[in-house]
Amino acid sequence: MRFKPDELTRLRRGIMKRGQTLSTVLADLLAGKQHPSMASILAAKPGLRPEEAVRKMLDEVEARRKLIDADDDAYGRCDVCGEDLGIYALGELPWADRCHAHASV
């Protein structure tokens, strides 16, 4: 086991909080409201309509949650090279799916 049970609990909680935030942003968008975090979301996913960008991010967060729930060893590893992201990096971004070298891929 790469992570202690309490670490996994904390990471899963962070993923769930991110999902909740993104769900709120998506609901606001679909209701025609502007959300304060819209600029950073659109910058992260250029070329997509706002609701598409948020949905894509929500799907990515959900994929990380599923990996944690399945106790899949792929959680916490780079999707490109398989490098372990480390507990400190995951503590900051528990939904991370790429190492620093592949963050822009």
| Model confidence pLDDT, tens digit, residues 55-104 | 999 999 999 999 999 999 999 999 999 999 999 999 999 999 999 999 88
Non-local CB neighbours of 43 within 8 Å, separated by 6+ positions: none
Instruction: Please tell me the pTM assigned to this model.
Output: 0.86
Contacts of 94-103 spanning 24+ positions with Cβ under 8 A: 94/10, 94/11, 94/12, 94/14, 94/15, 94/18, 94/64, 95/14, 95/15, 95/18, 95/60, 95/61, 95/64, 96/64, 97/60, 97/63, 97/64, 102/78
